[in-house]
């Protein structure tokens, strides 16, 4: 694993390109426009409200970073790039919303 941070301009350019992909223009959890956070472990972009839920879940489930405030490593960018091309939104929608555990998750993460 590389802990080397990318130059800010390069990471901002790459993330800006990823944010141009139509599926990345909305929060993957709630659909809010213009997400400013990313779960680089899951490969999706998040709004401020939903990123707090991901933080509560813990880093073993979702690792998050600000698109504009945090420094990104090449490895983080690579993982985010690869996963953002996968149909995460569709997987999450069907897994979560059709899950028998929906009431449990809703109660657990709404506090």
Where does the chain have alpha helices with state H?
8-19, 48-57, 74-84, 88-97, 102-109
Cα-based torsion angle of the residue sequence 16, 21, 26, 27 in order, rounded to the nearest 10 degrees: -70
Assess whether pLDDT exceeds 70 at residue 48.
Answer: yes
14 is in which domain, residue-wise? 8-109
Looking at the DSSP bridge assignments, the partners of residue 73 are 5
- Which of the four pLDDT bands, split at 50, 70 and 90, describes residue 22? confident
What pLDDT is recorded for position 76?
79
> Does residue 73 lie within any of the structural domains?
yes
What is the pTM assigned to this prediction? 0.68
Question: pLDDT tens, 69-90?
Answer: 888 888 877 776 656 655 565 5
Instruction: Please state the domain count of the chain.
Output: 1
- Residues above pLDDT 90, as percent of the chain: 20
Q: Which residues contact 99 (CB under 8 A, 6 or more apart)?
A: 105
> Does residue 70 lie within any of the structural domains?
yes
> Does residue 79 lie within any of the structural domains?
yes
Q: Is residue 58 packed enough to be buried (19+ CB in 10 Å), middle (13-18) or exposed (0-12)?
A: exposed
| CA dist., res. 17 & res. 15, Å (int) | 5
> Does residue 22 lie within any of the structural domains?
yes
Assess whether pLDDT exceeds 60 at residue 105.
Answer: no
Sign of CA dihedral 41, 46, 48, 49: negative
Residue 66: CATH number of its domain: 1.10.220.150
Q: Is residue 61 packed enough to be buried (19+ CB in 10 Å), middle (13-18) or exposed (0-12)?
A: exposed
> Does residue 2 lie within any of the structural domains?
no
């Amino acid at each position: 694993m590389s802990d080397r941070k990318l130059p800010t301009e390069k990471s901002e350019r790459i993330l800006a390109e990823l944010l141009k992909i139509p599926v990345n223009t909305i929060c993957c959890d709630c659909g809010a426009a213009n997400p400013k956070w990313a779960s680089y472990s899951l490969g999706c972009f998040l709004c401020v409200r939903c990123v707090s839920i991901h933080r509560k879940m813990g880093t073993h489930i979702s690792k998050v970073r600000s698109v504009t405030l945090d420094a990104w490593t090449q490895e983080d960018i690579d993982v985010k790039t690869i996963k953002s091309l996968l149909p995460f939104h569709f997987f999450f929608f069907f897994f979560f919303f059709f899950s028998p555990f929906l009431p449990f998750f809703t109660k657990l993460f709404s506090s």
